[in-house]
Amino acid sequence: MNPFQSLNRFNTNARKWDLDRGPFDEDFLPFSVADSDYKSPKPIIDALRERVLHGAFGYNYIDISYQQAVMNWFSRHYHFEVKSDEVFQSHGVVAALYLAVKGLTKKQDKVVIQTPVYPRFFDVVYDNHRTLLINKLKQNKGHYEMDFIGLEDTFKQGAKLFILCNPHNPVGRVWTEQELDQVVDLCKRYDVTLVSDEIHADIILGNHTFTSMGHYLDRYEKIMICTSPNKTFNIAGLHLANIIIRNPYMRELIHHELRVSHSCTPNLFATLACEVAYTACDDWVIKQNKHIEKNYRLLKLFFQKRVPKLVITALEGTYLAWINIACLNKDSTLVTKELLDYGIGLSDGNKFDPDSKDYVRMNLACSKAQLEAGLERFYQYILDQTQA
């Protein structure tokens, strides 16, 4: 059976289904928030069901079988080894980024991000009263690259921390080993702490290879890695991230932040789901990547045939397509608002970077049928624009 079948999430507290809807009711098709519109793998659902039926939900702890499952996942999938005291948990990757900025920098310190990027990267800097330095990614015909000269410039301005997004949401890059070598060399040269958000690490397309910052832990001592099963297995609502830090001093700073923010052991269901995901779902991950790849091809072919002027950014990793809509001559905030009247929800490029008003982001983690229906609605909107 195809595990990636349509799932109507209306009225289940799914943000993008219940809150992002315009005038539409159940017929609305959201492609915005980065979670999946099909079920989590069956072993996860079965394990959660069994735990619910057990009926007691008291205080829990992280046991060795959980730690082992996580360390084995890193070894099997990302090809690096860690010790159990180098891995600990937070209530999600965004929570981990807040801990990083708070614990590893001081007020007004300079923090670098590369745009366009997941909007919460801006929030973690501003909310902690740090100074934001932006290094813009370079774009050429639908392919993005890091601007290393720009990055070095921000480091020369005294940056203390750099938040890397690998794979990068929304531009879909899976940074190569050569690129990451350069990043680490620069961080080392300018003594900049490197925080790597690797939440999209398992969603890798074609023959691209994901390289984790875990490979660099012995080369540079100021690295913090944030990983999570949230995207891969559609369990973001359970709220869990696994953080890796080798440096004992940095680890103590983050542990302190965890204590003062009362971020105790993660939810019982979250750790159970993660352990099962990391021990019983390897096949599912392979199948999902093939499914996302097919949806991406479908999207590309659809627009190649019908609206060739629309540029689809090359998608190497993540399930998020970054689409250039400059040919519509309309700001993405207006486009995404008007699209609601056509029963389709996309993410507004402006939210990822004030200069991305020509972009929308479309989530491909849905059934083929949902994607086809969404594309028809998007196309109808484009036709109405060009005929207006």
Ligand X SMILES: Cc1ncc(COP(=O)(O)O)c(C=O)c1O
- My answer on whether omega of the bond before 41 falls inside 30° of 0, hence cis, is no
Looking at beta carbons only, is 228 or 271 nearer to ligand X?
228
Q: How far is the CB of 111 from ligand X (least distance, A)?
A: 15
Q: Which of 228, 288, 350, 370 binds ligand X (CB under 6 A)?
A: 228
Tell me how far apart the alpha carbons of residues 22 and 20 are, in angstroms, rounded to a whole number. Answer: 6
Judged by CB under 6 A, the chain residues 48 through 107 that form the site for ligand X are: 92-94
Using the rule CB under 6 A, is 20 a contact of ligand X?
A: no
Q: How far is the CB of 59 from ligand X (least distance, A)?
A: 23
Q: How far is the CB of 314 from ligand X (least distance, A)?
A: 18
Q: How far is the CB of 88 from ligand X (least distance, A)?
A: 15
Q: How far is the CB of 122 from ligand X (least distance, A)?
A: 12
Task: Look at strands 359-363 and 320-324 and give their pairing.
Answer: antiparallel
Tell me how far apart the alpha carbons of residues 343 and 338 are, in angstroms, rounded to a whole number. Answer: 9
Place of tokens 């800097």: 125
| Closest CA relative to residue 372, chosen from 14, 29, 25 | 29
Structure tokens at 177: 């080993």
Using the rule CB under 6 A, is 122 a contact of ligand X?
A: no
Q: Which of 165, 213, 250, 364 binds ligand X (CB under 6 A)?
A: 165
* Total interface residues for ligand X by CB under 6 A: 13
Measured CA to CA in angstroms, residue 216 lies from 67, 82, 83, 130 at distances of 21, 12, 15, 26
Place of tokens 């394990």: 47
Q: How far is the CB of 384 from ligand X (least distance, A)?
A: 30
Q: Which of 17, 78, 118, 233 binds ligand X (CB under 6 A)?
A: 118
Q: How far is the CB of 92 from ligand X (least distance, A)?
A: 3
Looking at beta carbons only, is 113 or 328 nearer to ligand X?
113
Burial class (CB in 10 A: 0-12, 13-18, 19+), 179: middle
- Residues 348/360, Cβ–Cβ less than 8 Å: yes
Q: How far is the CB of 360 from ligand X (least distance, A)?
A: 16
Which residue is closest to ligand X by CB?
Answer: 92
Tell me how far apart the alpha carbons of residues 105 and 113 are, in angstroms, rounded to a whole number. Answer: 14
Using the rule CB under 6 A, is 358 a contact of ligand X?
A: no
Judged by CB under 6 A, the chain residues 189 through 208 that form the site for ligand X are: 197, 199
Looking at beta carbons only, is 212 or 230 nearer to ligand X?
230
Looking at beta carbons only, is 123 or 179 nearer to ligand X?
123
| Closest CA relative to residue 93, chosen from 224, 221, 211, 288 | 224
Judged by CB under 6 A, the chain residues 23 through 42 that form the site for ligand X are: 34
Q: Which of 169, 289, 295, 336 binds ligand X (CB under 6 A)?
A: 169
Q: Residue 349 CB: number of other CB atoms within 10 A? A: 26
Q: Which of 128, 230, 242, 295 binds ligand X (CB under 6 A)?
A: 230
Judged by CB under 6 A, the chain residues 127 through 146 that form the site for ligand X are: none
Judged by CB under 6 A, the chain residues 239 through 258 that form the site for ligand X are: 241
Query: Which spans of this chain sit near ligand X (rule: CB under 6 A)?
Result: 34, 92-94, 118, 165, 169, 197, 199, 228, 230, 236, 241
